[in-house]
Amino acid sequence: MKLFGKRSKKTATVAEVKPQEVEEEAVSSYFSSDFKPPSSTAESKEDKSHDIEKLLAMDPSELNAKQRRVLKRHKKRQGVDDNDADKNVVTKSTDDGDEQQQNNPEVVSEENDDKDKDEHSDKSPEDVNTESEEKNETEEKLSLEEVASQLKGLNAKERRKLLRKLSQTYDEEFLAKATEASKKVAAHNESKQQNTNTATESEASSGDFEIDPAVADIANQLKDLNSKERRKLLRQLSSQYDEELLAKATDVSKKIAEANEAKQAQEQNQKESKKRKAEDQSTCTEDKNNSESASSEQPKSKKKKWKDFSHLPPEERERREKQRQMQQEAAARRAAGEVSTRHPLNSERRRANRRKPGKAGKIRLMRLEKKANQGTLRAFNASGYEMRRNKN
């Protein structure tokens, strides 16, 4: 019994590989007379978009943007008018082609430019100038109307803000016209507001908004109430009266509330203006008093007496003059905040020695320290620590 037998390996039959015969390619030499570049020889790779005869034979609706541009340049070179070409294209094109041309922005922009050029070439320069002036006038009118509409519902501050923004885009003449328009609009708004205010005041003073006596009674009840109390009263009256009467009563209450709010706002503004005036006057008086007190508190500068150094010898005079100059320089350095590392002057040294405490001063400091220590001990013994210690 064989545990480990040999495997019979199958050997593949080695087939003879015949070398393929490579055909010799006839490559034309660069220096030969019949040499052509590869771009001219590759006729199959030519771009169809540059074949003008094929493009002219094609349907215009099937052309893309590049092919249309190529045709247009070809027609310009040939001297064909753009108008005739456009007419031919329109007659040949279908509805689908028209939609594609409209959707393509390049074609639309080119056609518009050509039309504008033809129109300008047909007209005289005087007609063009008159038309441009008329266009400018209409544009100015439109812009003024737009500015007036923007300024219609604005107050004075917002109007000035808008005019400052417009000053960046428009000239001074236009802004002057816009300001005039804004003034007219402001006057119109003010007159409207005055009319509405007078109407509301007359209605509020009369109090007779409706002929119905029930509504008049409700209006008298609502006259001096705030919004919360007014709503509460209307909820109570909803069980007694019908909806129409309550709707009229609510209208009356709204008008009364608006009149009351306007009065309250006016009174508040008057109070605030009075407060501001009083504060301004008080600040002015305080400033005056402070200035007067500062002027009175400023001490008069004491003039140093002139000293006679005639009795001193010249060496002592020079020493004192030098010392005085050094003191002035040191004072200037102290005022400037400079730290001097030099040795101090004699006067500064004497002043420092004078500030050092002597024997009596040291004794006084010791007594003060002792008193402070006694105070801390008393605070510590306030809870009876020493008493308990002595008992134990």
Instruction: Evaluate if residue 11 carries a pLDDT over 70.
Output: no
pLDDT at position 211 is 47
pLDDT: which is higher, 207 or 274: 274
DSSP for 135-148 reads HHHHHHHHHHHHHH
Which tokens sit at 219? Answer: 């209006």
pLDDT at position 325 is 93
Per-residue model confidence as pLDDT tens digits over 251-309: 777 777 787 788 888 888 888 888 888 877 777 776 666 666 665 556 666 677 778 88
Residue 78 lies in a domain: yes
pLDDT: which is higher, 13 or 216: 216
**Average confidence (pLDDT) over 317-335:** 90
pLDDT at position 319 is 93
pLDDT: which is higher, 370 or 375: 370
Q: Give the angle 325-327-330 at the CA atoms, nearest 5°.
A: 110
Residue 36 lies in a domain: no
**Average confidence (pLDDT) over 96-114:** 54
pLDDT at position 334 is 84
Residue 353 lies in a domain: no
pLDDT: which is higher, 290 or 84: 290
**Domain final position from 102, 122, 142:** 122
Least confident of 10-14, 142-146, 192-196, 381-385: 10-14
Least confident of 7-11, 90-94, 242-246: 90-94
Per-residue model confidence as pLDDT tens digits over 24-82: 666 667 677 766 666 544 444 445 556 888 888 888 888 898 998 998 898 888 885 55
pLDDT at position 41 is 47
Residue 251 and residue 228 share a domain: yes
Residue 137 and residue 76 share a domain: no
Q: Which domain holds residue 263?
A: 211-279
Residue 155 lies in a domain: yes
Residue 180 lies in a domain: yes
For the chain, the domain total comes to: 3
Residue 71 lies in a domain: yes
pLDDT at position 269 is 86
Per-residue model confidence as pLDDT tens digits over 346-373: 666 776 677 777 888 889 999 999 998 8
Residue 117 and residue 63 share a domain: yes
Residue 43 lies in a domain: no
Residue 130 and residue 78 share a domain: no
Residue 109 and residue 85 share a domain: yes
Beta-sheet strands, E only, within the chain: none
**Average confidence (pLDDT) over 242-258:** 76
Residue 189 and residue 132 share a domain: yes
**Average confidence (pLDDT) over 223-239:** 78
**Average confidence (pLDDT) over 138-163:** 71
Per-residue model confidence as pLDDT tens digits over 86-99: 555 445 444 545 55
Cα separations in angstroms, 370 against 363, 364, 373, 381: 11, 10, 5, 16
pTM over 0.85: no
Residue 223 and residue 190 share a domain: no
Instruction: Evaluate if residue 206 carries a pLDDT over 60.
Output: no
Q: Give the angle 73-79-85 at the CA atoms, nearest 5°.
A: 70
Cα(386)–Cα(392) distance, integer angstroms: 10
Average pLDDT, the chain: 71
**Domain final position from 69, 96, 122:** 122
SS3 call for 107: helix
| pLDDT class of 333 with cuts at 50, 70, 90 | confident
**Average confidence (pLDDT) over 330-347:** 76
Which tokens sit at 55? Answer: 């493009």
**Domain final position from 136, 161, 195:** 195
**Amino acid found at 271:** K
| pLDDT class of 200 with cuts at 50, 70, 90 | low
Residue 113 and residue 145 share a domain: no
| pLDDT class of 210 with cuts at 50, 70, 90 | very low
| pLDDT class of 154 with cuts at 50, 70, 90 | confident
Instruction: Evaluate if residue 234 carries a pLDDT over 50.
Output: yes
Residue 135 and residue 75 share a domain: no
| pLDDT class of 203 with cuts at 50, 70, 90 | low
Residue 178 and residue 148 share a domain: yes
pLDDT at position 186 is 72
Residue 129 lies in a domain: yes
pLDDT: which is higher, 49 or 6: 6
Kindly tell me the burial class for residue 125, based on how many C-beta atoms sit within 10 Å of its own C-beta (0-12, 13-18, 19 or more). exposed
CA dihedral 279, 281, 287, 293 (to 10 degrees): -120
Q: Residues 88, 72: contact at Cβ < 8 Å?
A: no
Q: Residues 269, 218: contact at Cβ < 8 Å?
A: no
- CA quadruple 174, 180, 181, 185: dihedral positive or negative? positive
Query: Residue 225's closest CA among 199, 269, 261?
Result: 261
